Structure 1
């Protein structure tokens, strides 16, 4: 099966100048679902769309786009634990995802012979001093998102055999690509600030003791504009705020003080409207307004 990967890639790619469509951990699926849903609509009734549907066993890209985060749920107990969840309605996809997870199990050993599937979601290019990807070595690897996106594309094109060490078949490649395209447009997935053990900003290419901010997960925000709490201050990691709160903030017409379940119910029709509007435009027109009142959504 030959794939028009350029068309698929453009169908799924969103350039967001304000950087508010997001997710590293499985914080909030909304940003990914929007990316996948736009791709679904742009590929509808096309030969490429038909091939996508066949590979995904009729699963939409909107639904497939969150799977790369969902399978992190296997990390604690493993895929073979009786209590682990399965994609039981799509048994072939489920089996291939199991093989992918087993071949790329989570590890903190940077020298591991097999990479962790977590590494595929990001790259940690230093932001101070600002660097391009090719300017240095710190924070980059052969298993980062910059390498995994073209790897998945080559699998879809048939240039890399499906019987590869990473166990990335064509369906798995498509699932990963639908997610990684969202990841790479999230600033906290492509850059990191590094610090010395005593908390000073450092250049990791010059100071081997410097450690990264883990995609903003090492920073904690205290949010003052949240649903009232009986006591204490609502705290959230920067990455989680970016992935969930900032994404929801694009729907500025919604009431601020809502519980998560209520907010999601109100967002669904607005999401469909936004997806249709963006799918009707060319990617060059997808940049969101720079004056979105994100600062009014939550004060940190």
Structure 2
């Protein structure tokens, strides 16, 4: 990691948790890297045509933005977000929302679009995605990436029950590829009623922590007052603070406008650098089929998700009723790690590597799907850009529970409050 962009997270966590919302930043970095990788290529021109000129950097945050429709529905075209400059895309996104409205009931034929952002594989013991059933579903991020790939490969018709057209598939992939590279969007800890971690796939009932969404993080750095003020949720820390640690540190006295401007510049400097530095081990083995890329990515990130929990000591964990289901809530305290690396610095390093790989993998996935797809463009075709001056390397990879008695093993229907920015 280059020291010029990496700093200790302890110095900036208050800044990251200020009034500005930085959740989208990680997704924008992934989409921006892919934009850069696909620039001046036939695939890039085709992607641009299909999504009506929207950049992947912008597209990558749309699946989170449309959660704003959850309260009043998608019929009010005046409420945010409204993509008025792209009416066909706007209409297709609203159809997608209507076909996948928020719900906690896993028995309904219509899944919630919130479920598509993650999977909750138990992390107590080492395992792969296919080794068990707990936390997985046909509507998790692994399956939905494959679903979108099928749409772009003309293996699944655009007139499908989920209303995922080719433009919507590109927008979803721009986001989901980032999600699956965030450790706590793939792995979760499960606890019994006594607050001890268990592995539901080994026959021991447990209640999940929703990928750290119900666990409060206590880092060693900072004063007690700062620690109390932070109120960091473990999942939010991985979604937001780790990303900001890879940008820049500014004093709290800096104005909101200046802070936003400097952060935006730092983000694009990072995007430019990562787009031109090939990440380590980003390519999957040739024998892995395109439809299985998402599962391979999940298997790759699961050991990291396990470490993200092993480096913490959990306490005061208890079942907590959240709306109509139970979750495990408690505190996670940073341990003294054998490598003597602070949790915040270790996590920020991991996230930088994962954002880097995710951007290259998104570009590669689009090259392998969009290049061969038939097009029903949402707007008039955009003329292909001229070829690059120099050749560049190709960017070429239910369980159910109900309210009442405490749930036993499995995936409790996902919460609509769950965050989904990548780590």
TM-score by length of 1: 0.81
Map residues 194-233 of structure 1 onto 2, 5 A cutoff. 194-207=190-203, 209-222=205-218, 225=222, 233=229
Aligned to 1:234: 230
Aligned to 1:137: 133
Q: Is the 8 A contact 2:247 2:270 kept in 1?
A: no
Q: Is the 8 A contact 2:238 2:347 kept in 1?
A: no
Counterpart among 224, 240, 249 of residue 245 in structure 2: 249
The CA distance in 2 between the partners of 1:281 and 1:297, in whole Å, is 21
Aligned to 2:16: none
The CA distance in 1 between the partners of 2:67 and 2:53, in whole Å, is 23
Aligned residue for 2:156, secondary structure, equals coil
| 1:157 Cα deviation from its structure 2 partner | 1.4
Counterpart among 188, 191, 199 of residue 192 in structure 1: 188
Q: Is the 8 A contact 2:198 2:204 kept in 1?
A: no
Aligned to 2:83: 87
Aligned to 1:96: 92
The CA distance in 2 between the partners of 1:292 and 1:35, in whole Å, is 25
Aligned to 1:155: 151
Counterpart among 8, 14, 28 of residue 23 in structure 2: 28
Q: Residue 152 and residue 297 in structure 1: after superposition, are their counterparts in 2 closer, same or farther (change >3 A)?
A: closer
Aligned to 2:62: 67
Q: Is the 8 A contact 2:120 2:186 kept in 1?
A: yes
The CA distance in 2 between the partners of 1:59 and 1:111, in whole Å, is 36
Aligned residue for 2:133, secondary structure, equals coil
Aligned to 1:48: 43
1:128 aligns with 2:124: yes
Which structure would you say has the larger RCO, counting Cα contacts within 8 Å and 6 or more residues apart? 2
Aligned to 2:266: 270
Aligned residue for 2:232, secondary structure, equals strand
Q: Residue 260 and residue 201 in structure 1: after superposition, are their counterparts in 2 closer, same or farther (change >3 A)?
A: farther
Aligned to 1:111: 107
Deviates further, 202-211 or 53-62: 202-211
Aligned residue for 1:113, secondary structure, equals coil
Q: Residue 166 and residue 127 in structure 1: after superposition, are their counterparts in 2 closer, same or farther (change >3 A)?
A: same
The CA distance in 2 between the partners of 1:220 and 1:45, in whole Å, is 45
RMSD between aligned residues: 2.8
The CA distance in 1 between the partners of 2:346 and 2:132, in whole Å, is 37
The CA distance in 1 between the partners of 2:109 and 2:124, in whole Å, is 31
The CA distance in 1 between the partners of 2:342 and 2:265, in whole Å, is 20
Q: Residue 168 and residue 296 in structure 1: after superposition, are their counterparts in 2 closer, same or farther (change >3 A)?
A: closer
User: For residues 251-299 of structure 1, what are the alpha-carbon distances to aligned partners after superposition, in whole Å with 9 as ceiling and x for unaligned?
Assistant: 25x235467945432121111111111111223378xxx979934999x
Aligned to 2:344: 294
| 1:214 Cα deviation from its structure 2 partner | 0.6
| 1:114 Cα deviation from its structure 2 partner | 1.2
Q: Residue 278 and residue 258 in structure 1: after superposition, are their counterparts in 2 closer, same or farther (change >3 A)?
A: farther
Deviates further, 61-70 or 194-203: 194-203
Q: How many aligned residue pairs are there?
A: 267
Counterpart among 267, 280, 283 of residue 279 in structure 2: 283
Q: Which has the larger radius of gyration?
A: 2
Aligned to 1:177: 173
